[in-house]
Structures are given as structure tokens and as C-alpha cells.
Amino acid sequence: AQSVAQPEDQVNVAEGNPLTVKCTYSVSGNPYLFWYVQYPNRGLQFLLKYITGDNLVKGSYGFEAEFNKSQTSFHLKKPSALVSDSALYFCAVREGTGGFKTIFGAGTRLFVKA
């Protein structure tokens, strides 16, 4: 069965510092992996995805994520955090061989302090 774990409920980082939001997954077969961001009182916005190819994926707003097959991880990163990055971040996984279901993690709240 597919599953996603976001081990940190909350991540705090100072503006200008690098940030990492962690995600590990479990899926049979090749995974499709996604990151979404949710700003207050808004729906989820797509940030980036990994389907195949280069393990480093670049997405919106300067975010990137690295797919690590041996560690079954897909951590979200940004070299220099902004206060406006403060939001709720969701990692999601879908089995690449078919089906419709995408499983979402519980979410990690990122606070960026000025």
C-alpha cells in the first residue's frame, strides 16, 4: 500500500537561511511524487513533481526537491527562505503503474522568521 510520511509537524527557519522539509514514501513500483503548498484559507497549489529522469526537480518560487530512491525520500529544499514562504506544505505520492489515488502526507507547517 502507498504511504507518505512527513516526520516534522513544523519547521522553523530564519529568513535567508536554507530550508528543508522532509518527506519519505512507500509505494510498490515506481513513484510519482509531488509537493503542494497551502497558504492560509486557500486551496493547495502545485509546486513540483518527480515522474522520471533527473533526481533534482526544480519547481515554482525557487523550490526544488531531490528524489532519493535508496532512501525513499523526496525532501523539499530552498537555498534562501523568505518570510512569504511561510505556509503548510504537503508531500504526495502516487504509484506510477496506474490507478487514480494520490496519497497525501499530514503536512508540515513552515515558519520563516524575519
Alpha carbon distance 55, 58 (integer Å): 10
- Considering the rule CB under 8 A, would residue 32 count as an interface residue with other proteins? yes
Alpha carbon distance 77, 64 (integer Å): 5
- Considering the rule CB under 8 A, would residue 52 count as an interface residue with other proteins? yes
Cβ of residue 42: shortest distance to other proteins, in angstroms? 6
What are the grid coordinates assigned to 76, written together?
523539499
Q: Which stretch of DSSP H or E encloses residue 49?
A: strand 44-50
- Considering the rule CB under 8 A, would residue 107 count as an interface residue with other proteins? yes
Cβ of residue 43: shortest distance to other proteins, in angstroms? 4
- Considering the rule CB under 8 A, would residue 22 count as an interface residue with other proteins? no
Q: Which residues pair with 74 in a beta bridge?
A: 67
Residues in contact with other proteins by CB under 8 A are: 9, 32, 34, 36, 41-46, 49, 51-52, 90, 94, 96, 98-102, 104-107
